[in-house]
Amino acid sequence: MTSARSWPKAIGFSIPALLLWGLTALFLWAGLANTWYGWVSLDWPVAEGHILRTDIEEVRSNKQDTGDANTTANWKPGGQIIRYRPIIEYQWQVDGGTYQRHRIDFSAAKANEETREAAEAIIAPYPVGSTVDIHYDPNKPSRGILKPGAHWDGLGVTLIAAFVLAVFALVFSVLAFRSLRK
C-alpha cells in the first residue's frame, strides 16, 4: 500500500528516470540513423558537386572535459586541449534544386583531430573550386554526403553512451517504484 508521503519521493525519482530514458532513446536513434544512412548511402546516386570552402576550426576544451587523460600533445596552460575540426563545405544540384552541406560522412561524432596537420590531410584532397562526387538520397536530394559508408566506431560509442544512460535510468526507475511500495 502506498502512503501519501511516498508520492513526492516517487515523482522525484520518476522525473530523472523519464529524462534519462528519453536521452537513451535519442542516443540510440541518432547512432542507428547515422549508421543506417551511412550504409545505404553506398547505393545512392551520384551528382557532380563543387567544393565551396575548406577550413580548420580550433576546438578548445578543458582537459578534464575531454575524457582523454593521456592527451598531452595539445595541452595548453590553464588546462586546455586544442583539437582541430576539418570543415569541407560543398554544393550540388539535383532536378533543378541546389543543395549545400558541410557534413563529410555519416559518423556519429564530428572528427576532432589532435594535430592541425591531421586535419589538413583530411581537407587536402578537396581544394576550393574542385569537382567532387556527392552521393545523395534519391528520396530527399538535400541529404547528400561527401564520403558514403557506415562508421561502426561511431555506433559503438553511441551504444556505450546509451547503455550508461539506460543503467542510470533503470536505477532511478527502480528507486521510483520502490518508493511507491513503501
Residue 33 shares a structural domain with residue 89:
no
CA distances from 119 to 87, 105, 115 (A): 9, 15, 7
Per-residue model confidence (pLDDT) at position 73: 54
Q: Which three cell numbers stand for residue 46?
A: 551520384
Nearest-angstrom CA–CA distance, 160 and 166: 10
Residue count of the chain: 182
Number of domains the chain is built from? 2
Residue 124 shares a structural domain with residue 174:
no
pLDDT in tens, the chain (182 residues): 456 566 677 777 888 888 999 999 988 888 888 888 889 999 999 999 999 999 999 988 876 544 554 444 555 556 788 999 999 999 999 999 999 999 898 875 666 888 999 999 999 999 999 999 999 999 999 999 999 988 776 677 778 888 888 999 989 888 888 887 76
Residue 23 shares a structural domain with residue 58:
no
| Amino acid (1-letter code) at residue 168 | F
Nearest-angstrom CA–CA distance, 7 and 1: 12
Per-residue model confidence (pLDDT) at position 38: 87
Residue 133 shares a structural domain with residue 94:
yes
Strand 80-94 versus strand 46-62 pairing type: antiparallel
Nearest-angstrom CA–CA distance, 61 and 86: 17
| Amino acid (1-letter code) at residue 141 | P
Per-residue model confidence (pLDDT) at position 69: 47
Residue 61 shares a structural domain with residue 91:
yes
Domain span at residue 164?
Answer: 1-43+149-182
Per-residue model confidence (pLDDT) at position 66: 45
Residue 92 shares a structural domain with residue 153:
no
Nearest-angstrom CA–CA distance, 99 and 91: 6
Q: What residues does 131 pair with on adjacent strands?
A: 50
Residue 9 shares a structural domain with residue 22:
yes
Residue 31 shares a structural domain with residue 102:
no
Q: What residues does 133 pair with on adjacent strands?
A: 48
Residue 154 shares a structural domain with residue 93:
no
Q: Which three cell numbers stand for residue 83?
A: 583539437
Per-residue model confidence (pLDDT) at position 63: 61
Nearest-angstrom CA–CA distance, 50 and 48: 7
